Structure 1
């Protein structure tokens, strides 16, 4: 049993966001609890109380008591909590200690000193349960974001704890992988495990949660049974800043207009040397210019690789892009394009948020650049973060800073890889509004996304990638909606969708 009594916590930095106030909570053994609320409401901080990272790793002002199996968390050593509470973080890279998947899955077991045969048995059971046989023996650096998240879940599962704490576990997963994650959680439930999940995506977990806890400004504002929560009106959910419970039933908000200008892709081809087969293989493709093009497909389908080829970032890739009648090789494409990566930690370089945006601007007029950068940050709800170090921000805030840098760059082609990963409803809307503004400025945008709400909010066109090939692309019309819904409902996502 987990019990939190009269707990308040403020981080050492003194930030008010993510702090907790007067938390009282009991979680029974075998209970599945969903924590929801807008970004910064304290969900992640609450999970850190349970897995012992507070007070054993994160410093701050803590009052009250946290009990794990009848003993205060502060009286445990962190290594004693690790076998009791398995943790899966929002960014799986932060919990990796190896370079290959198999070693990573058994790493916790090795630290527990388990016999080799026991470790191998757990490895087999975990990979079978999570359907990860095809990921064994792979380099962690070659995995997609969703595949990395699966390995993080497997590492926690192999330890066989009684409690699992997951922080935004679906943020980098495609629909098929979310179904797999749901099956894993259901398996844990059948084993009477305690499962606590902090999430913005509610649709996959709410039907199976025993209790839903809604947080706001560091406090528990309300608790719902499963039936009560599923019965909430969609307007009420929006008012609470929560994502839709049935996002696949939404419809596009705008009908795309005809566009005569186009981008022409010729003979795009890319392969990793060891793979022996192409990751991207697109003989020819014509796409509209100045539009918002959503890119969908399963994890590992080649979406991010296609984006890097488009930007000219993979120097070994082949092919040309014709823009305004001019053929652009990879070097030229790097000058006119900007890519917001799935893991934005790779592209945050400066000492504060404002400088991060200024870095992507031309610098011809410093004062004008500052004013424009501040306007962009205000539109992304980051005005109060101007002087903070980018790496001190939450995952969702970092995501918005990277998006702000893309907006500030003024490039003709901008590619966003999972731009709403870890964002709540309100911030997803702010991002979609920024994307629409860029479209109005005649920019061509590509959105790699598994977020149906974002697609319906702003995409004018849609394309589907499988095994590095474009199976179909079309305007966001009724047929595209049908194909999109088929993709989201199809178990594997796939070739059955070719048209």
Structure 2
């Protein structure tokens, strides 16, 4: 890129202002900086989505492997640049994972034998062989992300572009991602990553570009960046480079959770200190039904349903409980069950000491979903926070305070679907907090958030707990869990 300037047609704001950068073959370059600094727009310029699909005013030069990314036909970029988006669901074209991996090859007209070879190879390289033949709708967010990364490399691109690729991944999957980036570099592939969670890139990244207010304000060599003191990293609004202190803290919280569970087993179910308990709970769902269409290709047998027993758990008012574990272990299914969106296979959920039905759980609980696009309905951010509520004076005042606390005051009149991923997440969290429910459940609330907004979420969760609500947080974010959770349940155990 050379002297690139880009302004979105919809908002009119300058998203990239005079940026020049070069990424060499076999090099990993990281774009870092606070939310809204222009990282995602740089990604869209690199893969040709801006200005071809994200319309706006463009000037400067952008070249990928000699192809004009701004003005040339985007299909010329397809075999050269593979992309992994922040929300993997936005890049899926098929309902079946195997078909999704084959889709780019089919578009290029490859023979069936070559397609099968590439699908098997990329699935093995990225550790998703066990996910082949699965329904995309039945995958966890982290599993979808892993399949999306594999699909982005199935054509053998010379440049791989990633936007927050680890936002929904567990520790093991992040290690796989790190190994995959190493392999890409060894093969001479250039890798451009926009990321908030920086620790996994230690030793893999060659350069770090610090973005601020639509510009690249500083470039660091890897050794130079990693030698910066933690307080300097924090002052720049960046996530931690060393996660070991946070992991030790989380391990201690998990240990105390086991002790608390033992105490719960000898307690009474109506002692007044517990909002919700589970007893012998088994969660899950049936296998998806697939139509027997003669032209529907199925490389694998239909994947069965999912079920697992949940250790008896307790949620108390005023407490923040972290729910952690590997991708696909049942975290999202569990919180959907606890909020009345899914029925348990067996066992009991007790609310205030009494067996609760789905409508009872829905009445007291609010779930902020992992994909917040499913729960944004209003035409403006301000209206979203008070949807279904009487907008009297006190409500309006509380809403305005919430907008300020969540750093959303400047976009209060924007349509929620026009916001960045991190901003949408904060809008959904604000809607949950405005409802005043007794149980607030958040599924990956800090996915795609920078350090300051992650800490804002933590402060707000603590405020909700202090007001008497029970808070349950599904997360892979060790910084959030270590800093704000009172105890942690690890479903992988």
| 1:464 counterpart = 2:477 | no
Determine the C-alpha separation between the residues in 1 that align with 2:401 and 2:24. 47
Q: Describe the SS at the equivalent of 1:419.
A: coil
Aligned to 1:476: none
Residue 26 in structure 1 maps to residue 22 in structure 2: yes
Q: TM-score, normalised by structure 2?
A: 0.89
Aligned residues: CA RMSD: 2.1
Tell me whether 1:267 sits opposite 2:264 in the alignment: no
Mapped to 2, the partners of 1:298 and 1:360 lie a distance apart of 36
Query: Does residue 200 of structure 2 align to residue 204 of structure 1?
Result: yes
Q: 1:372 aligns with which of 374, 395, 398?
A: 398
The answer to whether the 8 A contact 2:67-2:77 is kept is: no
Question: Per-residue deviation at 1:71?
Answer: 4.0
Q: What are the superposed Cα offsets for residues 446-478 of structure 1, whole Å, 9 maximum, x if unpaired? A: 011011110122100111113xxxx4xxxxxxx
Q: Distance in 2 between matches of 1:232 and 1:459?
A: 28
- Aligned equivalents of 2:182, 2:485: Cα separation in 1: 33
Partner of 2:86: 90
For 1:177 and 1:71, locate their aligned partners in 2 and report how far apart those are by CA, in whole Å.
33
Aligned with residue 357 of structure 2, among 329, 333, 344: 329
3-state DSSP of counterpart to 1:237: helix
Give unpaired runs (5+ residues) of structure 2. 265-270, 288-302
Displacement, 1:89?
Answer: 0.3
1:16-50 Cα deviation digits (max 9, x unpaired):
37x01111112222211011000000011111111
Match of 1:303 in 2: 331
Q: How does 1:283-362 map to 2 (within 5 A)?
A: 284-315=312-343, 317-359=345-387, 361=389
**Structure 2 counterparts to residues 95-134 of structure 1, below 5 A:** 95-134=91-130
For the Cα contact (< 8 Å) 1:360–1:408, is it kept in 2?
Answer: no
- 1:321 deviates by 2.8
Pairwise CA distance, 1:99:
0.5
Alignment of 1:216-235 (within 5 A): 216-235=212-231
Partners of 2:488 and 2:235 in 1: how far apart? 29
Superposed CA deviations along residues 329-379 of structure 1, whole A, max 9, x for unmatched, are 222111000000111111111111111111154x2x533222211111110
Per-residue Cα deviation, 1:412-441 (whole angstroms, up to 9, x for no partner): 011100000000001001110000000100
Q: Distance in 1 between matches of 2:283 and 2:486?
A: 27
Structure 1: 5+ residue stretches without partners: 472-499
- Structure 1 residue aligned with 2:35, among 17, 39, 42? 39
- Output the CA distance in 2 between the equivalents of 1:267 and 1:278: 17
Q: Secondary structure at the match of 1:9?
A: strand
Q: What is the total number of aligned residue pairs between the two structures?
A: 461
Shift, 1:74, TM fit: 3.4
Distance 2:67 2:135 in 1: 39
Aligned equivalents of 2:59 and 2:12: distance in 1? 16
Contact persistence 1:360–1:409 (CA under 8 A)? no
Query: Structure 1 pair 360/5, CA: closer, same or farther in 2 (3 Å)?
Result: same
In 2: Cα distance, 1:401 partner to 1:369 partner: 16
- In the alignment, structure 1 residue 10 sits paired with structure 2 residue 36: no
